[in-house]
């Protein structure tokens, strides 16, 4: 996908297959729409008054509008002007990009980013446009023999902006394109079937990324190396499957323009990589179990984020850690009542084998200590309880560090990839008490997402830490089933803010 800016003042004279302009539902035209209305001697407004209510996420296509060179004018609904915000703008850009992709167009011009949106900068609006184009052009075809859903032909999107704003818009487009590429890698890894996207496959993906981008270096530890590290908690989950586990470390090193004396401690991202989760002996219900291939979306989002920052040549050292295995029932699998010893030396009583994500993450969080990180952020489809609490809108955010938490929340708002901070009070820790080990792996039904985060917090005492529970935001069910690519936008923005 190619992105550019279009700075001609004569919007009505731009030659393109599709030109998007915004319309507010209270009868107010955006500046770009007003230009086209004047060029068409009021024909644009006449159509709007007759048949377009301009609600958010709606559009109307006008072909061969008098006085306008563009083949199609796409009127995009923005809702009421006084409630227009970053989320509405991002939705409007997605409406336009989806139209271009589904109509088989190869290019289009959007004037939507030129609309003032409170205190949302043009850079952010341009970023949203590029992310929308990436989302609109993603198609899963990896395991489909008949390519009935052909890949979109859309290859070029230009933003109409003022000439003195072109550099700012181009910066946003560059960042948005990298984020979109990372999201699409994340979506592909999530959508692949679990017999293809195995721990070995994730390891090979990290190796391929290290070959594609010179700033990345991959290391994939196998069973014997994991055993040597005494990751007894992680290995207790992995042994239930014949598929070998993989412990993936992918490092991004800032370029030489960052002097050694100016280098900051790395930021570490940890992604849960359970490539299929049957629940183990605590077997899940059969209905919708196919969606448990998405239990590695934490890993997928971390790898997608690393791809994005490598493309952007981020001036900050970042390290991704992915503990990956399957969680299956077998004669070798964990049993309720088993006690395992983690890499940290803490013993864990396994009361439910389906609470396996925390068992693999705790050893990865201990491993992260060796990098003396500035911050560690783990990403995991960890609990159904988080879905109950927050649905599919907000990612659950837990943190022991207020500055880290606020930085992630702000990055989410910036990219429309929002999170909601959840409690992490010490009082919840009592639910994890065990009579037979240092800690139990579940705390019962009350506050399930909170006690899961409390479990992880016990392994993060030596650094600033945040946990993102993406169980409700990593994928969609139903007719639109598929991975979402979240929280790549949030993570990339956070890293950009701390580069």
Residues designated catalytic: 284, 358
Backbone torsion region of residue 54, taken as left when φ is above 0, otherwise alpha when ψ lies between -120 and 50, otherwise beta: left
Contact criterion met (CB below 8 Å) for 112 and 92: yes
Contact criterion met (CB below 8 Å) for 134 and 183: yes
Contact criterion met (CB below 8 Å) for 110 and 159: yes
Tokens of 289: 């179990």
Terminal-residue alpha carbon distance, the chain:
26
Closest CA to 395 of 485, 273, 498: 485
CA distance 135 to 440: 41
CA distance 407 to 411: 6
CA distance 111 to 33: 9
Closest CA to 320 of 339, 288, 340, 298: 298
How far from the centroid of its chain's Cα atoms is residue 335's Cα? 33
CA distance 149 to 251: 36
Contact criterion met (CB below 8 Å) for 4 and 156: yes
CA distance 437 to 74: 63
Contact criterion met (CB below 8 Å) for 335 and 426: no
DSSP string, 155-188: -EEEEE--GGGHHHHHHHHHHHHHHHHHHHHHHH
How far from the centroid of its chain's Cα atoms is residue 353's Cα? 27
């Amino acid at each position: 996908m190619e992105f550019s800016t279009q700075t001609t003042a004569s919007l009505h004279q731009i030659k393109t297959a599709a030109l998007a302009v915004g319309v507010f539902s209270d009868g107010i035209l955006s500046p770009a729409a007003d230009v086209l209305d004047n060029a068409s001697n009021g024909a644009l407004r006449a159509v709007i008054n007759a048949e377009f209510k301009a609600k958010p996420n709606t559009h109307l296509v006008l072909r061969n509008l008098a006085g306008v060179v563009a083949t199609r004018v796409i009127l995009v609904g923005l809702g009421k002007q006084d409630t227009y915000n970053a989320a509405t703008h991002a939705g409007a850009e997605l409406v336009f990009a989806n139209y271009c992709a589904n109509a088989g167009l190869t290019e289009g011009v959007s004037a939507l980013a030129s609309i003032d949106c409170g205190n949302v900068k043009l850079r952010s609006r341009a970023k949203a446009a590029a992310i929308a184009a990436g989302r609109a052009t993603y198609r899963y075809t990896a395991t489909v023999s008949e390519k009935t859903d052909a890949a979109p032909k859309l290859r070029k999107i230009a933003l109409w902006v003022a000439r003195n704003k072109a550099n700012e818009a181009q910066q946003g487009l560059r960042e948005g394109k990298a984020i979109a590429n990372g999201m699409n890698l994340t979506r592909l890894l999530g959508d692949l079937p679990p017999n293809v996207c195995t721990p070995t496959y994730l390891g090979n993906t990290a190796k391929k990324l290290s070959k594609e981008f010179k700033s990345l270096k991959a290391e994939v530890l196998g069973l014997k190396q994991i055993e040597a590290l005494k990751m007894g908690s992680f290995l207790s989950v992995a042994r239930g499957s014949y598929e070998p586990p993989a412990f993936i470390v992918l490092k991004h090193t800032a370029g030489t323009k960052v002097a050694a004396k100016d280098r900051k401690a790395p930021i570490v991202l940890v992604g849960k990589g359970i490539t299929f989760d049957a629940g183990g002996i605590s077997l899940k219900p059969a209905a919708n179990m196919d969606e448990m291939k998405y239990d590695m979306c934490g890993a997928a989002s971390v790898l997608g984020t690393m791809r994005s920052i490598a493309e952007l040549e981020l001036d900050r050292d970042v390290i991704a850690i992915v503990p990956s295995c399957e969680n299956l029932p077998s004669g070798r699998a964990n049993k309720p009542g088993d006690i395992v010893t983690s890499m940290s030396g803490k013993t864990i009583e396994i009361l439910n084998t389906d609470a396996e994500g925390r068992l693999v993450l705790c050893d990865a969080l201990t491993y992260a200590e060796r990098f003396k990180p500035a911050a560690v952020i783990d990403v995991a489809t960890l609990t159904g309880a988080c879905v109950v609490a927050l649905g599919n809108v907000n990612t659950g955010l837990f943190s022991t560090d207020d500055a880290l938490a606020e930085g992630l929340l702000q990055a989410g708002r910036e990219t429309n990839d929002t999170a909601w901070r959840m409690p992490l009070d010490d009082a919840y820790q009592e639910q994890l008490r065990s009579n037979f080990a240092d800690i139990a792996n579940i705390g019962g039904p009350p506050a399930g997402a909170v006690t899961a985060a409390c479990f992880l917090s016990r392994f993060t005492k030596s650094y600033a830490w945040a946990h993102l529970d993406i169980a409700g935001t990593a994928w969609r069910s139903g007719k639109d089933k598929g991975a979402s690519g979240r929280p790549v936008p949030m993570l990339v923005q956070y890293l950009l803010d701390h580069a």
